[in-house]
């Protein structure tokens, strides 16, 4: 027996020790389960290592601490916050929701949160797996992993190890996926039927896992929500400048000094790196995935086109106005001039083409001013066009891929946010009651929101169960193919559209060659 009952609570025996969870409205929940050794002291800035286990029965009814990150009391004007205390270095835990810890071998959904590589937590109520477990008969796993300087920087240290990975965050996620493979059957899950899903930075993580030689054997399909594949993935040598800049921001000379600092000092120094790397008209991303030749050989998007990863089922999509999330409420960007935006366009298209590209954007959105053109440009560069290119490339290879665009606009702030980055999340999880703190969802009409949430939530469930997102309450959703380019348009009326983002695809075909 791998699961027993104890004092009315579900109990599961793992190789590392026994866990006692909690029964919540028919769902068994196990929180704060360690999946790797605490990355503290000498293990700080080292790859994730196996957890040594524990004696007796471990209480698994409370979330573990979230990864250290910046935190502002009162949150932000869009999400209302994306991480909350407690925070701690010892953060490598995961959470499991299951209809029952039995031998049913249910499909497994692993969720990787986003947050620009600097924020977020698998312990946030908005990412609770209960709706997927209950509505889809799935076993759901969410996880915490190292963020910001603790997860996205690495240092040459006294050992001089040549294969020290740069992407410590990826070693965490790989350790969690390995834990799922080895243990999820004890929670009623099927380790041979695992879907990994992620949004924003979490979608980049998901793609990186799909291309990792070990991880690709541990998952069957992926869901990529708003992946910022337009970000450049530097080499270790190219990233060195940021590592050195961070050391200066922290006021130390080497990693030995950093290991002696409290995490609060480390997170505080990240603010200096934000300032150091900021560029007008670009999404702020001081920390990036690195092509280190150890954990990541190529850009994460490329990993889904090569070797065994090409056979993984892929669902990919974006929101219509992704960049509004970061720019629409900023007065400095609202006051952007045509000349400023032309200069930003010229970075990708060249000065000669910039006026024509500007005109093309104003034609695609009548009445658009410089700020709207800029936001559409950033949306295309960072999210929509790179996602389209991945869908196109997989379609040309004959590999399975489904594409969507989320078009439903947020009424908040007089509609200025539009269909912004992150807005699809409460619809995918179908848990609006957990989003009351987020201004982003304020004013959404309940009946419209419920219908759209049902369509998306059930599509994600169907895909996790079978590799096909179609279900009875959704119009027929065909795979993306170069001949038809079917893209599901999720809105108050949801319909498949042929080549929905064709304007952006054709326009950005004129861009200057990229660095990579």
Which residue among the candidates 82, 421, 457, 508 is catalytic per the annotation? 421
> Could you give the 3-state DSSP secondary structure of residue 362?
helix
Q: Which residues contact 43 (CB under 8 A, 6 or more apart)?
A: 37, 49
322 is a catalytic site residue: yes
Q: Per residue in 65-94, is it b (16+ CB within 10 Å) or e — as a string? A: bbbbbbeeeebeebbbbbbbeebebebbbb
CB atoms within 10 A of CB 14: 18
Exposure of 325 in the CB half-sphere (CA atoms within 13 A): 28
CB atoms within 10 A of CB 278: 11
End-to-end CA distance of the chain: 52
Which residue among the candidates 321, 322, 372, 381 is catalytic per the annotation? 322
H helix runs in 187-294, sequence order: 201-211, 236-250, 255-259, 263-277
> Could you give the 3-state DSSP secondary structure of residue 206?
helix
User: CA-to-CA distance for 78 and 327, rounded, in angstroms?
Assistant: 11
Which residue among the candidates 9, 200, 205, 387 is catalytic per the annotation? 200
200 is a catalytic site residue: yes
Residue 138: exposed, middle, or buried by beta-carbon count in 10 A (0-12, 13-18, 19+)? buried
Is the Cβ–Cβ distance between 17 and 54 less than 8 Å?
yes
Catalytic residues: 200, 322, 421
């Amino acid at each position: 027996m791998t699961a027993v009952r104890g004092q009315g609570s579900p109990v599961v025996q793992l190789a590392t020790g026994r866990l006692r969870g909690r029964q919540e409205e028919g769902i068994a929940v196990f929180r704060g389960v360690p999946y790797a050794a605490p990355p503290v002291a000498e293990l700080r800035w080292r790859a994730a290592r196996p957890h040594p286990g524990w004696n007796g029965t471990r209480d698994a009814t409370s979330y573990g601490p979230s990864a250290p990150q910046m935190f502002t009391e009162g949150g932000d004007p869009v999400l209302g916050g994306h991480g909350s205390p407690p925070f701690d270095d010892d953060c490598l835990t995961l959470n499991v929701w299951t209809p029952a810890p039995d031998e049913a071998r249910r499909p497994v959904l692993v969720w990787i949160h986003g947050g620009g590589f600097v924020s977020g937590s698998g312990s946030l109520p908005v990412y609770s797996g209960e709706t997927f477990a209950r509505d889809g008969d799935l076993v759901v796993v969410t996880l915490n992993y190292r963020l910001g300087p603790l997860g996205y920087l690495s240092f040459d240290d006294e050992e001089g190890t040549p294969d020290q990975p740069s992407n410590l965050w990826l070693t965490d996620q790989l350790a969690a996926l390995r834990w799922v493979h080895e243990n999820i059957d004890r929670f009623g899950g099927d380790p041979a039927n695992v879907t990994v899903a992620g949004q924003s930075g979490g979608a980049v993580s998901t793609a990186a896992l799909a291309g990792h030689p070990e991880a690709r054997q541990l998952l069957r399909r992926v869901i990529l929500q708003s992946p910022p594949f337009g970000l450049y993935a530097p080499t270790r040598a190219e990233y060195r400048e940021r590592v050195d800049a961070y050391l200066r921001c922290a006021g130390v000379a080497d990693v030995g000094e950093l290991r002696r600092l409290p995490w609060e000092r480390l997170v505080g120094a990240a603010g200096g790196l934000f300032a150091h790397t900021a560029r007008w008209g670009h999404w702020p991303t001081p920390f990036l995935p690195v092509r280190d030749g150890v954990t990541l050989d190529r850009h994460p998007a490329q990993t889904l086109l090569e070797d065994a990863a090409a056979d993984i089922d892929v669902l990919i999509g974006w929101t219509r106005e992704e960049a509004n999330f970061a720019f629409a409420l900023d007065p400095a960007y609202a006051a952007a001039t045509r000349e400023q935006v032309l200069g930003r366009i010229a970075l990708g298209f060249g000065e000669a083409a910039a006026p024509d590209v500007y005109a093309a954007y104003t034609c695609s959105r009548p009445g658009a001013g410089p700020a709207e053109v800029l936001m559409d440009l950033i949306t295309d560069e960072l999210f929509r066009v790179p996602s389209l290119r991945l869908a196109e490339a997989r379609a040309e290879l004959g590999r399975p891929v489904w594409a969507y665009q989320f078009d439903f606009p947020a009424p908040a702030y007089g509609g200025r946010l539009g269909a912004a980055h992150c807005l699809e999340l409460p619809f995918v999880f179908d848990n609006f009651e957990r989003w009351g703190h987020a201004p982003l969802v304020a004013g959404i009409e309940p009946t419209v929101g419920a219908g759209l949430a049902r369509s998306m939530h059930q599509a994600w469930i169907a895909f996790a169960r079978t590799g096909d997102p179609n279900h009875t309450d959704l119009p027929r959703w065909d795979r993306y193919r170069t001949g038809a380019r079917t893209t599901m348009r999720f809105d108050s009326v949801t319909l498949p559209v042929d080549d929905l983002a064709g304007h952006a695809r054709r326009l950005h075909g004129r861009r200057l060659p990229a660095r990579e």
